[in-house]
Structure 1
Amino acid sequence: MSNGQWEVVGKSKKSQNGKIKNKEEDKKSFKNGPKLEDIIPHSQIKSFYAGMEIDDDRKPVNKNSAKKKKAQEKKAEPPKQKPPKTIEGALEAIDPNELANIITTNKVRFSNAPLVWLKEVASFLNSKTQIEVDDPTFSNYPSTYPLSTLPPEIRTSLENVLQDAGKANAQLFFDVTLTALANDISRGQSVNGHRVLLQMLANDYPEFCTASVQKSASLRNSYQNRPPIGLSLLWAFGQGGLTDFSVGLKAWQELFLPIIELKNYSKYVVVYLSNLLDRFAKMDNKVTLEQFLAMCDTVNAKRNGLPKDLSSDLIKQLSKFKDMYFSRSGNKLQVSFNQIMKKLPNQFLSGSTLDPYSRVLVESLVNCLERDDSCNATWRQLFHRCSKQSATLLDFINNNWAEVSPRLKRKSLKVTVTEYKLVGADVLKGKKKDETIIKTTKICQDILDRMTSTRRFPWLWASFLLLVSIGGLVSYDVYRVGGNFPKSATGKVLKDLGVLEHSQRAWQKTLSTSARGYLWVETNAPIYYAQTLEVSKPYIELSKDSIIFAYKKSLILYGNAKDYVIEKTPVVLATIEHYAPGLVDNVKGYASSGYEVVKKYSNDYYQFTSDYLKTKVFVGEWAPEILQNKTQTALNVTREHVTTYFHWFRQQVSLYSEIP
């Protein structure tokens, strides 16, 4: 406007009324423009967005299309497998190739570190078997669980890697895994892989379970206040007992027994011992005297600290242990008798006062007397030092006479009881009377009365049989002369003596009495036979058992002798060969030649004899067919004569029985 005129200032792109704007201003104005909340009431905003979703850029999206898109994505995904609920299911789900690849890879990467292989295998198994275990002892499963559920291919791979690691590394891994088992349980991690590997190692090397007893006991003590971990450790310690009785017994005595009085462990400790004894009861596992006495001391020390039912079960296990000891103890038991007698309480126990533990000890003493008769002499030497214990044993024998007496030798027992009675009589001569001695003296007399009241000789039956025999001879003598008694040899003798008439009357009386006696025997013999059979049945069974026992013992002796001969034969042959080279081979050659010669001539002689008998002897009247017919005829005639005689005998008995 310098020249006095109006000028237009640059507004080339925008008009004055704001109809034309650039892009930046459009965006700015959109962003800074009014919001929906400023225009529409707040209560209507939700209905305005119905059916719409806001995406990541805060833009509305159609909700129905989003649902369809998600459904299509779900259909495209493969269905997920349900996780296994049991250990056996988890083990079966493991891919054998995956395990084999892990083992191969670790062997290549850590060729000189077998422990690393085994730890990686344990970690792999733990990751694949993440199953919660309520009972760490698997009491409701077989004793070999969970190892028994392992698929064959997986088991083969594990056995091979353990074998490749070597026994020394396997033992070290066993100890390491025990610690890892406890630590991982405390951290809430899965340990089923540890369990499987520990069970497999204990199955192949039972001695691993008791190789480091002190370390194992220290580990157990560290976690004994946490029952799930403590029971898991006890279960692992006891796996060696599945295949080796001595290992199982040692583990029980040194690792189980110290915590038997803890409430959470008592039942499992007793159950493990029961299963161990039942498992090896019928196997050839010898229990030593030291082990038996140690078990007695253990049970006596621990039984009072247990509940009544568990204490009773523990006594039952002691009785099983006792049976195992005596079944393989031999017949030299004097030392055993002496030691067991001294373990009885120094008091007279009778009836209800004989507790279950002392009863097992008394039964053990009876077993000693049964198997070794010389224990009676040992017992007599202990009268003065163990008088009350002896009284307890005598009272037990007396109260259980029917059961005990057949097992003992009465002659030796009678000597023992008589001597104890004399010792008691000497004691009773003093001023102070001992009630135990008085009672025991009466018990000794009862036992002696039982042994002396033996069955007497049946004179009545013997006399009756003798009279019947004499009557039969006289009857035959009379029958031989046609029934004329005076003409018989008996009648002639009596006639010469002048007593024929009297003897005839006596003979008739004898025949009539014998006939009536025979009829009585015929009627009552079956009844008395049945009663006799019923009374003697236990003794027959005892004899049968004794014969079977003797037969088994003879087989054992034969087997031992056979094994000894087989074992020593090479030594003897080697000795002979050393001092007389070639002698053994010469003897074998001569023996073989002699055997062939004997075999040849025996065969020839047999053929010659057979041909001679067929052609020279058994011909004509001696032909086999004729001999067979004659034999059959003789049997038929004999049967007819016996039948005829029996009918005649019955007639005579009926006839003479009617004579007054």
Structure 2
Amino acid sequence: MAPPLPSRAPPLSLLTVVVVLCMVLPVLFQMDVGELKQQLDRSQTLFPDNPSVWVKDLAGYLNHALAAPETDPTLSSYTHDYPYCLAGKELRGVVKALIGRCNESLQDFYDHCVYTMLRELDKQTGEPLHGYRVCIQAILQDKPRMATQNLPDYLELLRSVQNRPVKCLTIMWSLGQAGYYDLSQGLRVWLGIMLPVLGVKALSSYAIAYLERLLLLHVNLTKGFGVMGPKDFFPLLDFAYMPKNALSPSLQEQLCRLYPRLKVLAFGAKPEMTLHTYLPSFLSRATPHCPEDMKRELLSSMTECLSVDHQSLGVWRQLYTKHLPQSRYNTHTVQSLGVWRHYLHSSGVMGVSQQAWSKVTLYSQQGFSWLDTNTPYYYSECVRVLSPVLEQTWERTKDAAIYISQLTTQLIDWINHNTPLLVEWLSSSTPDSVFLLIDYLKQLLLFLHTNYLLPALSHASHLIVQAWTALQDSCRLHVLSHPTLNNSNNSIQNITLQPTRWLLVVVA
């Protein structure tokens, strides 16, 4: 039987999103920031030595003022920085200034916001939580590490309320905000909080959607190196390729699309030093009965391990008899890859390439010899003929530069004097709606990138992989004799490694 489909919150309609925005935007734009400042000044006067009271009063005031309905605990229909992105510059300045004065209390304040949101969810009235969400986003925007300080405690809390999906999703949203500003912290949150509950019916959809958005926002994966290791990577491999697991087919397919980038993150900055630690787990999974897609991925990964990390061969030698069927199949695959060398020789490509290279080398040597002989003569002639002209040109250029400098001195002084005034005027005169329009454009571009560009690239990479597989199959028909294992290993390093790694990069 197929695994049960995970319950996924129905997507909000465009009308619902517009209604919520129409309720939140006027409140944020018309909020009396002066009244908020008075409230905070009163709190600081009454409790001058207790910053935790100041920030808690800030959160309480914002949550009372932003009385918009909670339609979805994950806010998945909005941009990742909603609702904080709707706050005006003045309100953001007040929030940032107060948070900056309470560094020692920020961890407690962050935990207070999360736990207060969970307590509010117990009330039947359905109190709004936007004020606490704004504070959480304001904290993690500058200090994303706050979310990962107490991950074990939050995982225990998540498991204790696992029968309350709304609370679980609220915890996951609160911690996941760190990842939008720091990829490494986002990966720590995902591996520490969301991976343990991957497969839970009500939580899997958001966990994978968050991972997809995280990897989409951070194109440069190098900032996430060093976070994921073998113990984190192989559960993801099993979820992506093993049939009949706790994920629905659609979620499993979505995870498969993310797998190449997760693989890059797992192998890290120096795969030549780490891949031998992955080989045993790849080898143990490559059984004759594993699914074909998974078998191809395992064999490709083991080939990369043996080709890139020289320590992998010693590890394989130790495990050869323990995993005899897998080792035998892997040996056949490694040997069959040596067909490239035979194909290049038998088809004449190797001979033509060598002949072309020899001609290029010969003509290059002749060209360098001619340059070595004639360059001094032509250089001296150029100096003799062009030197007077260049000197005259240089003198005129200096005169022109002095003249232009004198003409533009007043203009430069005027610009230096008026540019700061112009910048200040533009900053004060630009309405907040312009920034909101920019956020909408960013969301539109993100939608086009996710729903059109990425599927097109995925389809193109799939066609390339199919063509690559067909070429390998056609090459095997030309095999006349099997090379030894060592010769095959050299074939992998010298011939097949580059196109294989190129394809992996394209898929990623």
2:33 counterpart of 1:96: yes
1:125 CA drift (Å): 0.8
Partner residue in 2 for 1:452: 342
C-alpha distance in structure 1 between counterparts of 2:260 and 2:29, whole Å: 42
Partner residue in 1 for 2:441: none
Counterparts in 2 of 1:100 and 1:268: CA distance versus 1, 3 Å:
same
Partner residue in 2 for 1:183: 119
Counterparts in 2 of 1:117 and 1:613: CA distance versus 1, 3 Å:
closer
**Aligned residues of 2:230 and 2:278 also touching (Cα < 8 A):** no
Partner residue in 1 for 2:158: 220
The 5 A counterparts of 1:133-532 are 133-165=70-102, 167-187=103-123, 188-288=126-226, 291-297=229-235, 299-300=237-238, 304-326=245-267, 328-333=269-274, 335-336=276-277, 338-345=279-286, 347-348=287-288, 353-372=290-309, 375=312, 379=316, 382-393=319-330, 397=333, 417=335, 444=336, 451-455=341-345
Counterparts in 2 of 1:358 and 1:131: CA distance versus 1, 3 Å:
farther
C-alpha distance in structure 2 between counterparts of 1:295 and 1:118, whole Å: 39
1:158 CA drift (Å): 0.3
**Aligned residues of 2:121 and 2:127 also touching (Cα < 8 A):** yes
Counterparts in 2 of 1:88 and 1:365: CA distance versus 1, 3 Å:
farther
2:38 partner letter:
N
**Aligned residues of 1:340 and 1:364 also touching (Cα < 8 A):** no
1:137 CA drift (Å): 0.9
Counterparts in 2 of 1:608 and 1:301: CA distance versus 1, 3 Å:
closer
2:122 partner letter:
S
Which consecutive residues of structure 2, in runs of 5 or more, have no partner in the other structure?
1-18, 357-378, 389-508
Identity of aligned residues (%): 23
1:453 CA drift (Å): 4.1
Partner residue in 2 for 1:73: none
Q: Which has the higher contact order (CA 8 A, sep 6+)?
A: 2
C-alpha distance in structure 1 between counterparts of 2:80 and 2:345, whole Å: 54
C-alpha distance in structure 2 between counterparts of 1:307 and 1:208, whole Å: 33
1:375 CA drift (Å): 4.5
**Aligned residues of 1:292 and 1:321 also touching (Cα < 8 A):** no
**Aligned residues of 2:280 and 2:316 also touching (Cα < 8 A):** no
1:235 CA drift (Å): 0.3
Q: In the TM superposition, what whole-angstrom CA distance separates every residue of 1:312-354 from its partner, at most 9, and x where no partner exists?
A: 3334333321123346234335623533443424x225xxx53
Q: In the TM superposition, what whole-angstrom CA distance separates every residue of 1:232-267 from its partner, at most 9, and x where no partner exists?
A: 121001111112222212211222223223221110
1:318 partner letter:
Y
C-alpha distance in structure 2 between counterparts of 1:241 and 1:336, whole Å: 27
C-alpha distance in structure 1 between counterparts of 2:20 and 2:181, whole Å: 34
**Aligned residues of 2:284 and 2:326 also touching (Cα < 8 A):** no
C-alpha distance in structure 1 between counterparts of 2:155 and 2:99, whole Å: 25
Q: TM-score, with normalisation over the residues of structure 1?
A: 0.46
**Aligned residues of 1:123 and 1:193 also touching (Cα < 8 A):** yes
**Aligned residues of 1:336 and 1:368 also touching (Cα < 8 A):** no
C-alpha distance in structure 2 between counterparts of 1:277 and 1:310, whole Å: 16
Q: In the TM superposition, what whole-angstrom CA distance separates every residue of 1:498-540 from its partner, at most 9, and x where no partner exists?
A: xxxxxxxxxxxxxxxxxxxxxxxxxxxxxxxxxx9xxx9xxxx
Which consecutive residues of structure 1, in runs of 5 or more, have no partner in the other structure?
1-81, 398-412, 418-443, 463-531, 537-605, 616-660
**Aligned residues of 1:185 and 1:191 also touching (Cα < 8 A):** no
2:127 partner letter:
Q
Q: In the TM superposition, what whole-angstrom CA distance separates every residue of 1:210-249 from its partner, at most 9, and x where no partner exists?
A: 2112332343234332222221121001111112222212
**Aligned residues of 2:148 and 2:175 also touching (Cα < 8 A):** yes
Partner residue in 2 for 1:108: 45
C-alpha distance in structure 1 between counterparts of 2:50 and 2:35, whole Å: 21
**Aligned residues of 2:228 and 2:265 also touching (Cα < 8 A):** no
1:198 CA drift (Å): 0.9
C-alpha distance in structure 2 between counterparts of 1:222 and 1:381, whole Å: 43
Counterparts in 2 of 1:263 and 1:377: CA distance versus 1, 3 Å:
closer
C-alpha distance in structure 2 between counterparts of 1:185 and 1:116, whole Å: 22
Counterparts in 2 of 1:212 and 1:388: CA distance versus 1, 3 Å:
same
C-alpha distance in structure 1 between counterparts of 2:191 and 2:43, whole Å: 40
Rg larger for:
1
Q: TM-score, with normalisation over the residues of structure 2?
A: 0.59
Counterparts in 2 of 1:144 and 1:362: CA distance versus 1, 3 Å:
farther
1:156 CA drift (Å): 0.5
1:153 CA drift (Å): 0.5
